[in-house]
Structure formats: structure tokens, C-alpha cells
Amino acid sequence: MELNKEEKAMASGELGDAVEWAINHQIQVGNFFDAKNFVQVSNVHMMIDPESVGIDGVLFLEKLVGMKAKVKIPMITDPRGVDLNYYTPLGQTEEMANIERRTIKACTSMGILMTNTCVNYQTIMAPLLGEHVAYGDTGVVIYTNSVCGGRSNYEGGPSALAAGLTGRTPRYGLHLEEKRIPTKKFCIKFEPSELTDWGLLGAVIGKISGSYWEVPIIEGINHNPKSDELKHFGASMASYGSIPLFHIIGITPEAQNYSSKFVNQLDEHEITIDDILSLKSQFGKKGDKIDVVVFAAPQLSIFEMQKVSELCFNKSFKVPVIICTSPQVYADASRMKIIDQIEETGAKVLEGTCFYNQYAREIGLANGWKRLMSNSAKIVNILGGYGYEPSLSSMENCIDSAVAGEII
Amino acid sequence: MKILFKCHIGIGTKVQGEVLSANDNFSARYDLDRLKGIFSRPQHKLVGKSYVDKILVLNESKGGVASAWMLYEMCARKMAPKAILFNKANTILAQGASFANLTICDRFIDGDITSLLSSGQRVAVDPINGLVSII
């Protein structure tokens, strides 16, 4: 990689040991992807939940703190793995909570803002068209690239941290215009009508695309989707296919850059309602017993929280209902009594966490939760590997099923 | 039979080991029981198999950013593969391998690496020169 004077100083250790680690890590990754140079980024979002980081990751963070590491640009965090106000009832241990506490302490010492959200584009600051950023959380990245027109690769926790320490990232992948060009065309032959439909549609497109290096372009969406719909759509596509960018003709900002002639020559796939129902049928059926209902992945917006509270009104649940939202939305929802309305039913709202990164295997075993129901196509994809038998349905049906203790 | 395969330059150090191969994808978060060191996702073609100290050969990396931290944690506990060979790696697995000093290679010019290498074969991986050889 070509390095400027400042980057050479970073790499040789003149700007401190932490920066030296960071830029040399970035150079190695940049060389792997044939990056020619670095690109400045405006801000960073880091995934750093304690289950993933583990004690060895915490020791690494504390080592950086010992090197006086400080981030150069604004840097925020993905959801935590332990809600420190509510972990014993979930079956989480003091050991887990201590890893969380040490992670928070180390991050705070480095100047990282503990925003603890995977919907920062709804709650903190949405990137602008053409803005280069370094974001973790696949759902954040795909929304940033596709809906906002920002530029980011999937940045794993260590690489996001390195970007925070150097203020830049290697110029490869989605930072290059040529990697943003559509490679597959999808024609949608039905109208997704609610969040789970959007999640399933994203899943089908993700499974067919199947690679980080494919860029779907989608036609046939005949109404303007809402932010929450594209949130579920993108998060699911990223989960099932590792896809970091999509274009929707007439909707997303970069779709107009590509002519009909160009798009029409791409490998084309038609998606019908049968494709959606076929995938959905793999996740539970009417009459199946359930152990827990979860709304998360991505964290709920204030609109989703309001809808959950309305659906919960006057309900009594046979199984636990858990809702995960960001600290920003939690504060608003608390002020507007939405949290109270939800929790009066016995449901629980967790602040700044997301269920699947909360030691999902361990809390499942501790609580006897195996048959988990959600409206998130993303979470049901993830939790199969954690020993769950997940089922998928709309938010309304999840609530009604929690009342009945089985899928309605 | 061809015994030397060329790929893009990789990350990590030269290693040798036994191949565990499948035409399937990989995510540390989605597919593994990292405490037991086995594939745990019921739909994965390697479900129940131990990946510890193996040369994993898979199609693509998928899903979440968590794999970057997880590879480091797996290597620290010595419950990691010796190397991972992909047809195409995504950014997370390359970043995680770099952080964990785990050997990783991808983009083989000879074709689909999951069909060129079979489980049980012993191979040497040279990421510096982008070479994998059956030994």
C-alpha cells in the first residue's frame, strides 16, 4: 500500500504503540484485498459484545489502554451483551457481567462513545451520500451503503477499533465505486406488507446472492418502504448472504446510476410469494409449542416499540416476551410511558442489548428456552447454531402466540 | 493429480495439517459451538465435526462481524483451526485472521478449492507466496 508521511510515522511507531498496532493491522488487511492506499473516514461504529470478545479480547483492549490509546474520530458501539441492570434474571453470570464491565471501562478510556446500538442510522446520525465510514454490524453496514449511500465495508471489531485509532481505513471493497456496481438483478412479484415479509425477502435475495462481493439490484417494489422495513430487509439479506449493499430501483440513491440497458443484461432472478412462504415454512408451524418470544435484531425503533405496546395492551403471556431496544429509544419510550405499558404485561424491555449477542446459548440453557419465536428473519437464522429451534411470524402473531403458549 | 494450488497472497504463517472440507460457508457466530470446538449448526455440512487444528476448506465466509473477535478468542484458547481456505473470503474473516494471526488464503486460480481438496488429505499452506500443496 502507498502510505503518506503521517501513515509512515504511524507504522513506524512514532505516534505510539497503539497506533502502530492499528495501522499495521490495517495494512495487512489492505494488502490481502489489494488496497492501493487509505481513505479517511468520518466516524466509526464498533461491534464489541462480551461473548465475542471473551476474556482474551478484553485483555487486548486493556493492553491498548495501557498504551494510552485514544480514538482520533467519533466512535460509537454496537449493542452490549449484558444489560447491567438486568442480567441475573436472564441467567447471565457475574463472570459475563465482569467481562462486560471491563469492556466498557476500556472503551470509555479510549474515548469511545458507548451508544450500544445497531440502529445508529435511526438514532445517532445517518451517513450522507458518498461519506466514507468504518462500521461494524452487518445490518448497519448494509443500511449505510444501500439506503444512505455511505461507504463502508463490514469492519470487524478489531478493524473498527484500528480505524478509530488511525482515522482511516484501507481503500478496498465498498470504498471503491467499481465494487458498488450491481451484479445480479431481482424482479419482485409480490408486495411485502409487513416487517417479516421484508425480512424474508431479504433472506431469499441474500441466499441466492450468497457472497459479500455480489451486489443485488431489485425492481418491482411499487411503494416507498419505511425505514424499519428496509432495516429488516437489509439486516436479513446481510445475515443470509453476507451482502453489504443492495440497490432498489426508484428507491435507493445509487440505483439511478445504472441504465436499464445495463441492468437488463444482468443475471436475473424472479422472486414470488411462493419463495417467501417456502423459506418461512422452515421456521415453525401452527400448533408448535414455544418457550420464549423475542423482538430484536435489529433493535426496535420508537415506532416498533409503540406498536408492541399497543399489541400488548390487556394481554397476559404464558411465555416470556423479551424486547431489545437502543438506549436512545429506551429513554424516549420510558419518558412516554411505552416501557411501562409493555412491562405491565410481564414482558421485559432490555436496554442497549440485542438478544443473540447476550450469550444466547447459555441463557437458553439457563431458562429452558429452545423454541424461540420472533418476527426477525435475521435472529431465526442466527440462533439455529446456538441450539434453538426458532420460529418466525409477524409481530402480531408473535404476541398472540405468546398469549397462547403456542404458534397461532 | 495436481498437488500444488495457487491462490492470492494470504495472511498468517506457513502451516501444515489435515483438511476438513465442505462445499458450504462459514461464520464463527452462526455455525460453531466454540466451547466444544465443533460445527453446531444443524444445516451445516460439517455439523458435529471438530475443526480444532484442521485446515478448514470452505466456500465463502458469511454473516456477522462477530467472527473477527471470535477467531482471536478461539486462537487464544487453542481451539481454532490451523488455517482456513476459502474460495472467497469476506472482509470480516480476513480482518479476524489478521488480528488472530490465523492463516487464511482465498481466490484459487485452479477452481473451486472445496472440490480440489478432500477431508483427510494433508496439505501445506504458504500464505506468503499464495500456495497450497498436498503432502
Domains for chain A: give ranges and CATH numbers: 5-177 (3.30.499.10), 181-280 (no CATH), 292-404 (3.30.499.10)
Cβ <8 Å between B66 and A212: no
pLDDT of residue B29: 87
Best of B41, B69, B78 to substitute, by most chain A Cβ atoms within 10 angstroms, is B69
Sorting pLDDT into bands at 50, 70 and 90, what band is A82?
A: very high
**Bond into A158 cis (ω within 30):** no
Distance CA A332, CA A339 (A): 9
Distances (CA, A) of B131 to A1, A200, A243, A307, A369: 22, 40, 28, 55, 46
Three-state SS for chain B is CCCEEEECCCECCCEEEEEEECCCCECHHHHEECCCCEECCCCCCCECCECCCCEEEEEEECCCCHHHHHHHHHHHCCCCCCEEEEEECCHHHHHHHHHHCCEEECCECCCCHHHHCCCCCEEEEECCCCEEEEC
Sorting pLDDT into bands at 50, 70 and 90, what band is A385?
A: confident
Q: Are strands A216-219 and A247-248 parallel, antiparallel or unpaired?
A: parallel
Minimum Cα–Cα distance from A361: chain B residue = B33
Distances (CA, A) of A23 to A3, A37, B47: 10, 12, 37
pLDDT of residue B30: 86
pLDDT of residue A216: 98
Mean pLDDT of B68-84: 96
Q: Which residues on neighbouring strands pair with residue B89, listed in sequence order? A: none
AA identity, residue B32:
L
Sorting pLDDT into bands at 50, 70 and 90, what band is B62?
A: confident
pLDDT of residue B89: 95
Cell of A267: 443475471
At which residue does the C-alpha cell 465498498 appear? Answer: A174
pLDDT of residue A309: 98
Q: Domain coordinates of chain B in residue numbers?
A: 4-134
Distance CA A270, CA A354 (A): 33
- Our measurement of the distance from residue A346's CA atom to the centroid of its chain's CA atoms, rounded to an integer in Å, reads 27
Could you give phi then psi for residue B134, rounded to 5 degrees? -80, 135
Domain B4-134, CATH:
3.50.30.10
pLDDT exceeding 70 applies to what percent of chain A? 100
Cβ <8 Å between B63 and A238: yes
Which residues in chain B are closer than 8 Å to A158, comparing Cβ atoms? 68-69, 72, 95-96, 98-99
Best of B39, B91, B128 to substitute, by most chain A Cβ atoms within 10 angstroms, is B91
Question: Does A130 contact B at CB distance below 8 Å?
Answer: no
Instruction: Compute the CA torsion angle A157, A163, A166, A169 (nearest 10 deg).
Output: 140
**Stretch 92-121 of chain B: residues touching chain A, C-beta under 8 Å:** 92, 94-96, 98-99, 104
Could you give phi then psi for residue B3, rounded to 5 degrees? -120, 0
At which residue does the C-alpha cell 425477502 appear? Answer: A201
Distant-in-sequence, close-in-space partners of A94: CB < 8 Å, separation ≥ 6: none
Q: Kindly provide the ipTM of the predicted complex, given to two decimals.
A: 0.96
For residue range A31-74, what is the model confidence (pLDDT) as tens digits? 999 999 999 999 999 999 999 999 999 999 999 999 999 999 99
Distance CA A355, CA A363 (A): 10
Task: Out of B9, B42, B62, name the one closest to residue A241 (CB).
Answer: B62
Sorting pLDDT into bands at 50, 70 and 90, what band is B134?
A: very high
pLDDT of residue B1: 63
Minimum Cα–Cα distance from B95: chain A residue = A29
Mean pLDDT rounded to a whole number for chain A? 97
Question: Does A213 contact B at CB distance below 8 Å?
Answer: yes
For residue range A84-104, what is the model confidence (pLDDT) as tens digits? 999 999 999 999 999 999 999
